Structures are given as C-alpha cells and as structure tokens.
Structure 1
C-alpha cells in the first residue's frame, strides 16, 4: 500500500494545471498542507443516497517533501454519522499516517452530481496515527473538488 500511495502521488504530482480537479488545504500536525486533487485518481459512485467516494491529492514541494493524501468516504449521505471515513497520508517510505471513522469526523458542505461530474466540498477533522515513531497527530483538511462519477 505504501508503494502504491507513493507511486500514485508521483503520477498525480506530474499533472498539469489544467488537470487539477480541486484543492485540499489544512494541516497534518504542525505541517500546513496545500494539495492539488488529481482528476485521474479521484471518483465517486452514487446509488440513490449512498456514495462511495475516493479523492487523491498531492503536494510535491515543501520542507517536508512530497505528501500524498487519499481520502475515502462511503455510506448513506442522509445520515452522515453512519458514513465511513478513512484518510491516508503518505510521505517517504515509513512515514505514513492513517485515520478512520474512530478518530475522524466528516462535515460535507456540498455534494452535487450533474452530467457525470461530482462537485464535493467539506472538512475532515480528527487524529491520524503513524510515521516512523507511530505518533498520533491532529489533522484538519478542507477539500473542494470535482471528480468523475463512475458506475
């Protein structure tokens, strides 16, 4: 999984400005984040009010090196308390942080589908665990993205 996250991050990081599908801002511990969403690795499936969403974003430059974020959430949007949220931050090998519904909360500001494109915006807050020292860090990410709808 670590190698996949890093490979996807490097691929997404090479996307041109016209391929940007949105942005993620926030912080991982004390590290500020400004990541670009990759349209090639971000999508959503909708069945009624149930969604399965995956968003990949990267930050190539910065003092901490490249960062890849994978944010997934799935469940019935009519009851956000029951939606499963997972987040992975990948850096250099051995420097990954993971979080799930037990330590994260999701707030959606927008989720609109039209003509095969999903517009989604919201915030995830909570804690993630990992890195070389298996530390726990606070995380806050706000996202505003456009992604393709898949069947």
Structure 2
C-alpha cells in the first residue's frame, strides 16, 4: 500500500489527537497544596473524596481538603472553601488542624485572607482550580494569629 505525504500527515494528526485525548482522560481528581503556616513549611495532597466544585455561569463554588502525613512530620489537615462570583468570590474560609494537638485548630476568612485565583474552569466533569491564599489565620491553644501562604493546584470533581 502506498502512503503519500497527505495521508501521512492525516495519520499523524489523528495519532496526536488520540494521544492528547488519552492524556486528558487520564487526569483524575486530586492535586497539591504547597506553602507555609507561620514558620512551618506545608506540602499536602488534595483528597479527591473530600473535594468538589460547581460552576454555574460566572458563579463558582469549591471545597477541597488536603492532608500532610509524610515521614515524622505531624499530620496536618487543611480545608479551603470558596463561593461566589468569579474571579473574586465573596466567601472564603481556610481551616488548618493538627492531629497531635487537640485545640490546635486555626481558621481564617475573607477578613484576614486574600485569594488570587489563576484558574477556575470546568472540562469533562473536572474543575481545575489553582491560585494562592495569603494572610493570617487565628486560633490554636493560645488564640494567636499566624501568617499563612498557600499555593494550590487542584482538579476537583464537578457536581451540580
């Protein structure tokens, strides 16, 4: 069988399209949160089972939780919730809890935190959410305030 240049090009485009489609299908919910809480560095994996998002027109609603349990470091739980008109949702809540220290729970909201979204988009049942949260959270056993900076890159299941 003779394959000319036009046919080779068409076959190549088809093969590339199939590879790109496979890569898109391979994406699954999850992601990463990296940053710091006071002087403590944080690197957490986002739990797909405890995360979801909705986009309706220009309105977005998202919630994700991350857990750090590596090595001898203390287990840390982080939850971030945002809701409102995009790209600057009105509601923002960040919660940080430490497993070893009961009462070492920290919370911040729109009053003390700034959110910068770089992506909040939906494709094929997944919502891509990335950005940075900076500011202060309050709590802990001594009701103190600590600085927090978190960058996140998440793929969340889209729910209606």
User: The residue matched to 1:127 in structure 2 has which SS?
Assistant: strand
2:129 maps to which of 120, 130, 142: 120
Query: In the alignment, does 2:124 pair up with 1:99?
Result: no
* Shift in Å, 1:105: 0.6
Which structure has the larger Rg over C-alpha atoms? 2
Q: How many residues align?
A: 132
The 1:19–1:96 alpha-carbon spacing in structure 2 relative to 1, beyond 3 Å, is: farther
TM-score (norm 2): 0.78
How much is the aligned-residue C-alpha RMSD, in angstroms?
Answer: 1.7
After the TM superposition, list the runs of 4 or more consecutive aligned residues in structure 1 that deviate by more than 4 angstroms: none
Matches within 5 A, 1:2-151: 21-61=30-70, 65-78=74-87, 80=88, 82-92=89-99, 93-151=102-160
User: 2:52, 2:113 → 1: CA distance?
Assistant: 21
User: 2:117, 2:94 → 1: CA distance?
Assistant: 15
Worse-superposed segment, 35-44 or 18-27: 18-27
User: For each residue in 1:8-31, what CA deviation from the matched residue of structure 2 results, as whole angstroms up to 9, or x when unmatched?
Assistant: xxxxxxxxxx97711000000000
Partners of 1:59 and 1:66 within 8 A in 2: yes
Structure 1 residue aligned with 2:9: none
Consecutive unaligned residues of structure 2, counting only runs of 5 or more, are 1-26
Consecutive unaligned residues of structure 1, counting only runs of 5 or more, are 1-17
TM-score (norm 1): 0.82
User: 1:149, 1:47 → 2: CA distance?
Assistant: 11
